[in-house]
Amino acid sequence: MFKKVSASKGKIVTIYFEGQPVQTEEGMTVAAAVLDPSHGWSRTSHGGQKRGPYCQMGVCHECLMTIDGIPNQQACLTMVVEGMQVYRQDGAPDFHKENSHE
């Protein structure tokens, strides 16, 4: 859906989106890194509609995902880190499943 128009500059890192490895580079936001493997959707609304990052700058909150066990993270403001686990957020976050961030 999106293509690279310029050669990468950053170091290659691997993150996991819905359990699947995704190669990306340092300096990318999670929202940008998973744009293709996620087919552009990052979460579902309360009513179950698919939603995708809309603003890429921290305003709309459509990119909320569960990152390393913490729900409600703005993927467009979070930078990728080697080994990061990224999951789509299904409706409202399930805080009972939240892992500690420590």
The minimum distance between CB 63 and ligand FES, in angstroms, equals: 3
Q: Which residue of 12, 59, 79, 81 would you call a contact of ligand FES, by CB under 6 A? A: 59
Query: What, of ligand FES, another protein, none, does residue 20 touch, CB below 5 to 8 Å by kind?
Result: none
Give yes or no for residue 28 binding ligand FES (CB under 6 A). Answer: no
Q: What is the DSSP letter of 31?
A: H
d(CA 69, CA 2): 27
Which residues in 65-84 contact another protein (CB under 8 A)? 70, 72, 74, 77, 79
Q: Residue 42 phi/psi, 5° resolution? A: -120, -20
d(CA 34, CA 66): 13
